[in-house]
Amino acid sequence: MIVSALAAGICLGAAAAPAIARTGAKAADRFDGTWSVEVITESGSCDRAYRYGVIIQNGQARYAGGGDFTVSGRVQPSGAVRATISRGDAAAQVVGRLGSEGGGNGTWTTSGSASCKGRWNAERRG
């Protein structure tokens, strides 16, 4: 199911971060490491909840398990997250914030063949 697979990929957006300009690179590096992200569906036909690993390195995020999602987004030096995760005709907009204390949270909304929305929570693991 594409919607389930897309919602599974939402965690990528929780920390999605293309390379930050050199001026902000040091500040963005404070989010580098391994994160565990819980994705919870609050409305729509997506599966209820997921938990996945995300690795952030040099401000760039990637799914710890591989995958076939397209991720574009950014984590600002302040920790603000804005990203899009897509697969086929399904896409999710992700917004939120990572904190320097090793946690983060935000919301997500899908578009495309099915409409879902929910929230995400992240914890730094290493």
Break the chain into its structural domains and give their ranges.
Answer: 2-124
CATH value of 2-124 in 3.90.45.10, 3.90.1580.10, 2.40.128.120, 2.40.50.220: 2.40.128.120
**Is the four-CA dihedral 20, 98, 52, 2 of positive or negative sign?**
negative
pLDDT band at 119 (very low <50, low <70, confident <90, very high): very high
pLDDT number for residue 25: 54
DSSP E strand boundaries for 1-126: 33-43, 49-57, 60-63, 70-75, 80-87, 90-98, 103-111, 117-124
Asked if residue 17 has pLDDT above 50, the reply is: no
- Who wins on pLDDT, 99 or 23? 99
Residue 101's identity, in one-letter code, is E
pLDDT number for residue 121: 92
**Measured distance CA(79)–CA(46) in Å, rounded:** 27
Asked if residue 14 has pLDDT above 60, the reply is: no
pLDDT band at 111 (very low <50, low <70, confident <90, very high): confident
Answer yes or no: are the C-beta atoms of 7 and 46 closer than 8 Å.
Answer: yes
Record the tokens describing residue 56, joined without a space: 């952030």
